[in-house]
């Protein structure tokens, strides 16, 4: 499908490029597909980036460099060291700063001719329509299902194109969801996977370059869309496998029964997306999954240290994966590693006579395992609150935090 005209020629009447801008954009201007008219379209347009993280970094930098007139950024997070492996808009000096401040500074350094508007909030059902409404193109660079469904539904309700990119480990996806021209995200994924079937963080992670590749492709699609050139990704889904360097494409169709974009939608306003997906959208969320609501007995790192120092016999069970054990472990305290997927099958290796301390990275997987062990009759199991990372910060600074 060839793209439609997004920016009306009349809208360009008041747009001009200074001599400085002409020089800056000269490699665009000498291509007939862009030219003066195209560059003015870019200047007249506005793009909203949801998330200033992995995908948001290359997106914001390339869109600023390309001369998009107004770029909005939605993010509430602060830069930390674990971001720097892939979020190249932020530097080491930015750790601890708001991502929005750091990103805006980088963008205006690349191109002071663009306007950068920041929204320091999590995107929610209450604010999404208002934040999205002024923008021509929305780019979804989020990292969780509730915000993906929220972004999709808000785009459908407002009639906006949603340039979609998603990443996991070595795998990326790219499309444009625009209900006016083709399918939406819900046409492809009517429902989120149930929380328990989503691979756990033990299997998560992402190659640092992957969001660069996928984010750069999203930026390409946004610019093509604004210029009205080439073949857009509407109705197409690109699958990228970095490990095998394979690109595969499939065709997407509009679902005639789509709850949000069909002729008779059942969903005509934004809903509670955390409830819908059964997971929190962000770490400021007050949403608790049913399981997380059930507290398990906890032990704080300092209390564990006190009991160990007093000579009490405790059995420390580490339920992380072997590659995490290589990063940090409590081997010197007699900890035993059994990855969470194997615990039930290897329960006979646990000492039932003494109190069991279950430990993972930050305490969530170990809480799941304690609930599982309780079902199998283990009564004396305590969760190491905050996991080995909190132990490292409060008891043993010789261990790294990851």
Using CB under 8 A, list all residues that contact another protein. 51, 53-55, 82, 86-87, 142-146, 148, 166-171, 173, 188-193, 195-201, 203-206, 211, 237, 239, 241, 243-244, 248-253, 255, 277, 279-283, 289, 292, 360-365, 368, 387
Name the phi and psi angles at 224, rounded to 5.
-60, -40
Give CA–CA dist 342/383, Å, rounded.
18
Give CA–CA dist 2/154, Å, rounded.
24
| Residue closest to 212 by CA, chosen among 35, 86, 85, 90 | 86
Question: Which residue among 155, 187, 261, 360 is the active-site one?
Answer: 360
Pull the structure tokens for residue 213: 């590749």
CA atoms within 13 Å, Cβ hemisphere of 142: 22
Q: Does 186 bind Zn ion (CB under 5 A)?
A: yes
Strands, E assignment, 57-199: 70-74, 115-119, 137-140, 162-168, 171-177
CB closer to Zn ion, 89 vs 184? 184
CB closer to another protein, 45 vs 328? 328
Strands, E assignment, 59-169: 70-74, 115-119, 137-140, 162-168
Min dist. Cβ of residue 217 to Zn ion (A)? 22
Q: Which does 58 bind (CB under 5 to 8 A by kind): Zn ion, another protein, none?
A: none
| Residue closest to 56 by CA, chosen among 155, 113, 123 | 123
Q: Does 99 bind Zn ion (CB under 5 A)?
A: no
Q: Does 184 bind Zn ion (CB under 5 A)?
A: yes
Annotated catalytic residue 360 = yes
Annotated catalytic residue 201 = yes
Min dist. Cβ of residue 168 to another protein (A)? 4
Instruction: Give the helix/strand (H/E) hosting 247.
Output: strand 246-251
Min dist. Cβ of residue 179 to another protein (A)? 17
Q: Which does 360 bind (CB under 5 to 8 A by kind): another protein, Zn ion, none?
A: another protein
Regarding beta strands 336-337 and 314-318, do their DSSP bridges make them parallel or antiparallel, or are they unpaired?
Answer: parallel
Task: List Cβ neighbours of 36 (8 Å cut-off, separation of 6 or more).
Answer: 17, 29
CB closer to another protein, 67 vs 165? 165
Q: Which does 258 bind (CB under 5 to 8 A by kind): another protein, Zn ion, none?
A: Zn ion
Binds Zn ion (CB under 5 A): choice among 44, 167, 210, 258: 258
Question: Which residue among 155, 187, 201, 277 is the active-site one?
Answer: 201
Chain residues in the site for Zn ion (CB under 5 A): 184, 186-187, 258, 261
Give the residue numbers marked as catalytic.
Answer: 201, 360
């Amino acid at each position: 499908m060839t793209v439609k005209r997004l920016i009306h020629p009349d809208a360009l009447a008041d747009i001009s490029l200074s001599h400085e801008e002409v020089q800056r954009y000269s490699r665009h201007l000498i291509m007939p597909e862009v030219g003066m008219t195209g560059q003015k379209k870019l200047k007249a347009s506005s793009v909203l980036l949801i998330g200033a993280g992995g995908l948001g970094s290359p997106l914001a930098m390339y869109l600023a460099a390309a001369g998009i007139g107004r770029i909005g950024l939605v993010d509430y997070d602060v830069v930390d060291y674990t971001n720097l492996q892939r979020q190249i808009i932020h530097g080491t000096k930015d750790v601890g700063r708001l991502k929005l401040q750091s990103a805006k500074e980088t963008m205006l350094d690349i191109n002071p001719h663009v306007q950068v508007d920041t929204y320091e909030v999590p995107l929610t059902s209450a604010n999404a329509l208002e934040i999205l409404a002024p923008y021509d193109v929305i780019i979804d660079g989020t990292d969780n299902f509730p915000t993906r469904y929220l972004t999709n539904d808000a785009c459908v309700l407002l009639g906006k194109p949603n340039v979609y990119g998603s990443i996991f480990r070595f795998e990326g996806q790219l499309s444009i969801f625009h209900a006016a021209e083709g399918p939406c995200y819900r046409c492809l994924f009517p429902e989120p996977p149930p929380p328990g079937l989503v691979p756990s963080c033990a299997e998560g992670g992402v190659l640092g370059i992957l969001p660069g590749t996928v984010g750069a492709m999203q930026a390409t699609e946004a610019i093509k869309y604004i210029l009205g050139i080439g073949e857009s990704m509407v109705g197409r889904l690109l699958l990228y496998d970095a490990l095998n360097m394979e690109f595969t494409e499939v065709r997407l169709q509009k679902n005639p029964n789509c709850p949000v974009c069909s002729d008779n939608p059942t969903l005509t306003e934004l809903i509670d997306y955390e409830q819908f997906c059964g997971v929190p959208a962000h770490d400021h969320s007050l949403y608790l999954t049913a399981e997380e609501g059930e507290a398990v007995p906890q032990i704080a790192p300092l209390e564990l240290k006190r009991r160990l120092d007093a000579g009490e016999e405790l059995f420390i069970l580490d339920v992380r994966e072997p590659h995490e054990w290589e990063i940090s472990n409590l081997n010197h305290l007699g900890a035993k590693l059994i990855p969470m997927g194997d615990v039930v099958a290897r329960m006979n290796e646990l000492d039932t006579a003494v109190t069991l301390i279950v430990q993972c990275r930050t305490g969530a997987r170990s809480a799941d395992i304690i609930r599982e062990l309780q079902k199998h009759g283990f009564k004396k199991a305590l969760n190491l609150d905050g996991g080995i990372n909190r132990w490292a910060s409060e008891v043993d600074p010789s261990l790294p935090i990851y």
